[in-house]
């Protein structure tokens, strides 16, 4: 990568420090992957083939160092880097760089690489990252890349007086808040809390990417041989699928559109089986936390009347449809019969206005002083609730001061007062709503920086909400995730990653490994419920036949009407994976569908067996049935979370 390209990218991400910008100049080409070796990776990533590692994107460490106000020739301790590239960058800024690695073979390899490019001021110890490197203390700066539950006094004492430490902390139910700790005396420290997505995932395993293009007939024949066909949902090979899922803690069920009935119905049947036969504790969906909270209280028979209706924001049909209604009724009945509390939660960060109202409503019942404080903290953003995007535009254009500090302070107040507030389920919901407010405020600003930034912020939020729920329900909890294929498939295996985008699927693979099972969906043709433009009315639109050479078209050529295709090698065999491993087109329809520009707007490159563990295909599919005032179910109660309201 050329010097000006690196500096342009860093400046685009908001890096202003000339010291940092200069440090990234003239990086040896050995640090960059060629597109031939890995077609979906930025040039600013590196790999060690033997250890199968890929480095974090370069602006991640730059953002963290800028927050630490790094100075020339300081002495730094960097913990959890797992990155020889970052070590090389730090060697250009700091007088001495000390790092602690837990993998001895990686440490030896990194030292050899640095020696070969004449870097002699980097020192690596192998040991417990939580203990730091006491013998080499004190340090001007301590940079911690990996997540800590807390920073020990032993580690803080390794700072010089006046030294700074940056660490990501998971303080409560696994939500990350970054802390800057400054040592001001022998015994005193100042702590500043931040909320930022500094961290990008550091992939441990690169997906298999093939280069050989096989003949369609050979690929189609192998798909047909390994596919498990079903004529109807009643005949779906559920027991075999459950065997393949095994002891997974998280099962992610996708959809190739937000408006296809077969996708909704199939994942709901799989979810029922996971709840009934494998004891899964909850469903969490690509839906707003505040809206889904009403479904959750309904299915757990704890319904409380709200003064607003959920799922009224565009696109309302995504969850307000008859397919979801049937599952909600099933889950409510299941909980009654089994004295069970299986829940339904939202992962998304929209619904800012409702989340603010719910935090204040909760606090007014338990602590009036905190409720009044919340009203004050949130007052700077509440005037823009009808269109939060306007707020983001005004802040980015410097016409309005950001509310970021105020909403983060309110989240911290909830954390500080958790014992006083009894740590009840109601407190957990309020805390999650407060976290939605923090991330939503940042999201509406990020919209104007670029699609990758806003996408990543949203998927990080959804992933950490999933982790929060799992932590809240206990160490044995198991979750089902409902979201679009583009969220639950591994982004590393798609061209998303070349745009700098990660997703829940990638994060789950990094965090849960084999205990995360990902199921994608696809279709050849049919109809879909979607809009032509954002904010337009829903329409039933004909889906074009899949494009030649796409994964959907190859599945269509099997002449099977519906099937599920295992993709993990131990279930599918090596030959199928090998045949499918060259990048091919894959279709994605969201809430917007434009058939006339489908190739440009709805297809992307992917490597199917590295993206999903299983793929469910319908040759022809039909649209979901939105709930409207004309087709609302007669028995639906007025305060039902999916009832229609004009």
Among 96-110, 275-289, 626-640, where is mean pLDDT lowest? 626-640
Q: Give me the mean pLDDT over the 535-545 stretch.
A: 95
- Tell me, what's the pLDDT at 35? 36
Predicted confidence band at 231 (pLDDT cuts at 50, 70, 90)?
A: very high
Q: At what angle do helices 58-67 and 84-93 cross, to 10 degrees?
A: 40
Query: Quick one: tokens of 106?
Result: 């990686």
Q: Tell me if residue 235 falls in helix, strand or coil.
A: helix
**Band of pLDDT at residue 537, cut at 50, 70 and 90:** very high
Q: What's the mean pLDDT in 104-133?
A: 88
What are the backbone dihedrals phi and psi of residue 176, each rounded to the nearest 5 degrees, phi first?
A: -85, 130
The segment with the largest mean pLDDT, out of 60-74, 215-229, 632-646, is 215-229
- Residue 450: per-residue pLDDT: 57
Provide the 10 A C-beta neighbour count for residue 23. 24
pTM, to two decimals: 0.84
- Asked if residues 40 and 62 have their Cβ atoms less than 8 Å apart, the reply is no
Tell me what the mean pLDDT of segment 507-530 comes to. 95
Check residue 29 and give its pLDDT: 55
Asked if residue 51 has pLDDT above 50, the reply is: no
Q: Higher model confidence: residue 173 or residue 342?
A: 342
**What span, in angstroms and rounded, lies between the C-alpha atoms of 565 and 546?**
18
pLDDT tens digits, one per residue of 186-214: 999 999 888 766 666 656 666 777 777 88
Q: What is the mean pLDDT of the chain?
A: 86
Q: How confident is the model at residue 38 (pLDDT cuts 50, 70, 90)?
A: very low
524 has pLDDT over 90:
yes
Provide the pLDDT for residue 47: 38
pLDDT at 200: 61
Q: d(Cα 23, Cα 20) in Å, to the nearest integer?
A: 5
* Mean pLDDT to the nearest integer, 263-273: 98
Please write down the HEC assignment for all residues of 418-441.
Answer: CCCCCCCHHHHHHHHHHHHHHHHH
The whole-number pLDDT of residue 194 equals 81
**What does the pLDDT read at residue 438?**
92
């Amino acid at each position: 990568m050329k010097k000006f390209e690196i500096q342009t990218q860093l400046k685009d991400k908001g890096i202003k420090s000339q010291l940092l910008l200069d440090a990234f100049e003239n990086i040896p080409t050995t640090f960059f992957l060629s597109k031939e070796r890995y077609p979906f990776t930025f040039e600013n990533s590196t790999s060690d083939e033997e250890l199968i590692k890929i480095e974090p994107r370069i602006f991640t460490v730059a953002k963290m160092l800028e927050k630490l106000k790094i100075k020339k020739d300081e002495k730094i301790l960097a913990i959890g880097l797992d990155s020889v590239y970052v070590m090389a960058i730090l060697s250009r800024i700091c007088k001495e760089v000390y790092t602690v690695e837990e993998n001895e073979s990686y440490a030896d390899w990194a030292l050899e690489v640095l020696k070969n490019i004449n870097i002699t001021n980097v020192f690596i110890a192998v040991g417990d990252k939580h203990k730091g490197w006491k013998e080499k203390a004190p340090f001007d700066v301590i940079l911690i890349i990996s997540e800590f539950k807390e920073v020990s006094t032993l580690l803080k004492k390794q700072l010089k007086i006046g030294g700074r430490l940056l660490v990501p902390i998971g303080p409560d139910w696994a939500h990350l808040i970054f802390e800057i700790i400054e040592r001001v005396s022998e015994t005193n420290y100042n702590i500043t809390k931040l909320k930022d997505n500094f961290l990008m995932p550091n992939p441990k395993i690169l997906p298999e990417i093939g280069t050989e293009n096989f003949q369609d007939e050979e690929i189609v024949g192998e798909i047909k041989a390994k596919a498990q066909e079903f004529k109807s949902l009643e005949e779906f090979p559920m027991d075999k699928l459950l065997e393949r899922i095994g002891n997974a803690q998280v099962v992610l069920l996708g959809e190739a559109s937000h408006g296809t009935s077969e996708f909704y119905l199939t994942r709901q049947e799989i979810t029922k089986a996971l709840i009934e036969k494998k004891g899964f504790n909850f469903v969490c969906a690509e839906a707003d936390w505040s809206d889904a909270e009403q479904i959750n209280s309904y299915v757990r028979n704890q319904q409380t009347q709200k003064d607003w209706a959920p799922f009224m924001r565009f696109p309302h049909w995504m969850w307000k449809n008859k397919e979801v209604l049937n599952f909600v009724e099933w889950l409510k009945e299941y909980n009654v019969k089994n004295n069970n509390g299986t829940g339904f939660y939202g992962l998304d960060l929209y619904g800012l206005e409702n989340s603010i109202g719910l935090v204040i409503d909760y606090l007014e019942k338990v602590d009036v002083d905190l409720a009044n404080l919340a009203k004050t903290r949130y007052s700077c953003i509440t005037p823009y609730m009808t269109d939060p995007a306007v707020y983001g535009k005004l802040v980015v254009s410097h016409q309005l001061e950001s509310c970021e500090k105020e909403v983060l302070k309110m989240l911290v107040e909830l954390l500080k007062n958790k014992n006083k507030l009894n740590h009840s389920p109601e407190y957990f919901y309020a805390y999650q709503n407060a976290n939605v407010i923090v991330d939503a405020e940042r999201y509406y600003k990020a919209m104007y920086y670029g699609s990758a930034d806003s996408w990543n912020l949203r998927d990080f939020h959804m992933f950490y909400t999933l982790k929060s729920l799992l932590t809240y329900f206990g160490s044995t909890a198991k979750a089902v995730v409902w979201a679009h294929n583009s969220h639950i498939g591994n982004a590393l295996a798609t061209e998303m990653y070349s745009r700098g985008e990660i997703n829940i699927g990638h994060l789950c693979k990094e965090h849960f490994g084999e205990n995360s099972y990902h199921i994608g969906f696809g279709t050849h043709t049919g109809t879909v419920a979607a809009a032509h433009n954002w904010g337009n009315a829903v329409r039933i639109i004909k889906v074009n036949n899949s494009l030649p050479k796409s994964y959907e078209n190859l599945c269509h050529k099997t002449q099977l009407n519906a099937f599920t295709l295992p993709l993990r090698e131990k279930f599918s065999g090596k030959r199928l994976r090998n045949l499918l491993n060259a990048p091919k087109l894959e279709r994605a329809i969201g809430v917007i569908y434009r058939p006339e520009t489908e190739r440009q707007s709805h297809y992307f490159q992917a490597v199917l067996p590295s993206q999903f563990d299983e793929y469910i295909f319908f040759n022809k599919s039909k649209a979901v049935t939105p709930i409207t005032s004309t087709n609302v179910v007669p028995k639906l109660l007025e305060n039902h979370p999916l009832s229609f309201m004009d």
